[in-house]
Amino acid sequence: MIEAVNVTKRFGDIVAVDDVTLSIDEGKVFGLIGTNGAGKSTFLRMLSGVLIPDAGRIDIDGMTVFENPVCKERFFYISDEAFFFLNATPDEMERFYETCYPEYNRSRYEDLMARFELDRKRKISTFSKGMKKQLSIILGLAANTKYMFCDETFDGLDPVMRQGVKSLFAQDMADRGFTPIIASHNLRELEDICDTVGLLYKGGMLLSEDLDDIKGDVHKVQVVFPSDYDPAELIGRLRILEQEQRGSLYTLIARGKQDELNSTLREGNPVFMEALPLSLEEIFITSTGVEGYDIKKIIY
C-alpha cells in the first residue's frame, strides 16, 4: 500500500504540491489526472524518492521512500522524459537494471523486445519518442517490481500500442499482483484501465475515488414527458448536476441511485425514457463543476 499524508512541495514561491493526502491500494490501477502544471510529475518524483517533501510523509509498504534503496527495489519509475545512458543500447540498459532489481526477469525482457520488434543493439538515442516509451515499459515490466510509476507513459504511443501496453499491465496484475500508478492529463486515455482516479488541481487533490463508486452515484438519462405535463417540480426534486432541453427531450445528469432516479421520473408518466452511459470525462465535469471548478479548462 502507498500512503501520502499532508504532502507539500514548494519551489521558491511556487507550491507545486499542496497538502495532498492519498492512499493507493495494491492490485489496482490508480490514475493521477491533471493538466500540465497541476503537480503530477512533482508528486511522482516524491513518490519515487527523487524529491523529498517539504512537509508531510510518503510511505510505500510502511517504508519511507527517500534515500531508502530497499524500498526503491519495489517500484520502477518511468518519467515523462525517459532517461538512458549516453550512447547506450537497450541491452546495455537491460544489464544495468538487472543489477538494480533483485527480481529482474531477463527472459521477460527478451520476449517483450521481440514482441515490440525493437532493435536490441541499436543506440537508444536514435529511437523515436514512441520507441523510447516502449523500451521504458519493457524494462519496467522486466524489472518485475510490485509497483510502476508512469508519468504520461502513453504519450507518444499509437492507439494500437497503447492497447497493447494496457493488456500487458492487466496480465501482470492478474499474474503477480502488479500495481501501476499512471499520471496523465487525458481522462479518455485512462478510463478503460483505471480502478481508482485522483484529480490534482493547482497542486491540491480535488478528489480521489474508486471509479465504480463514482459511476454508481452519477447517472445520465434522456426523457420525454407528455406534452401537457410540466416536469419542473419533479425535476426540482432530483439532485441535478447538469440539465439540457431540446424541444420535448430532456437530458439530465443527476446524482443518486439509478433506481430512485427512474422511480421519480416515472411519476411524470414519460412517453420515453432511456439511461445513457456516462464517460469518465462527463462524470468529472459534472462532479467538480458543482464545487465551483471549471474542469473543462483543465481536463481535455
Q: What is the dihedral of CA 222, 225, 230, 231, to 10 degrees?
A: -40
**What is each CA distance from 67 to 9, 29, 57, 63, 270, in whole angstroms?**
17, 26, 13, 11, 63
User: At residue 4, does pLDDT exceed 80?
Assistant: yes
Which tens digit of pLDDT belongs to each residue from 212-234?
777 778 899 999 999 999 999 99
Domain ranges of the chain: 2-202, 214-297
Residue 141 has pLDDT above 80, yes or no: yes
Fold of 214-297: Alpha-Beta Plaits (3.30.70)
pLDDT category at 292 given cuts 50, 70, 90 is: very low
Contacts 24+ apart (CB under 8 A), 207-216: 207/287, 207/288, 208/22, 208/23, 211/280, 214/283, 214/287, 215/278, 215/283
Q: Which residue has the higher pLDDT, 33 or 36?
A: 33
Note whether 251 and 220 are within 8 A (CB).
yes
Interior angle at CA 229, CA 225 and CA 235, nearest 5: 70
Report whether 283 contacts 214 (CB < 8 A): yes
Instruction: Say what the pLDDT of residue 47 is.
Output: 95
Q: Over 70: is that where the pLDDT of 8 sits?
A: yes
pTM over 0.75: yes
Q: What per-residue confidence (pLDDT) applies to 289? A: 57
Positive or negative CA dihedral for 25, 31, 33, 37? positive
Specify the CATH number of the domain 2-202: 3.40.50.300
Tens of pLDDT along 41-92?
A: 999 999 999 999 999 999 999 999 999 999 999 999 999 888 899 999 999 9
Residue 136: closest CA among 160, 157, 121: 157
Which pLDDT belongs to residue 300? 43
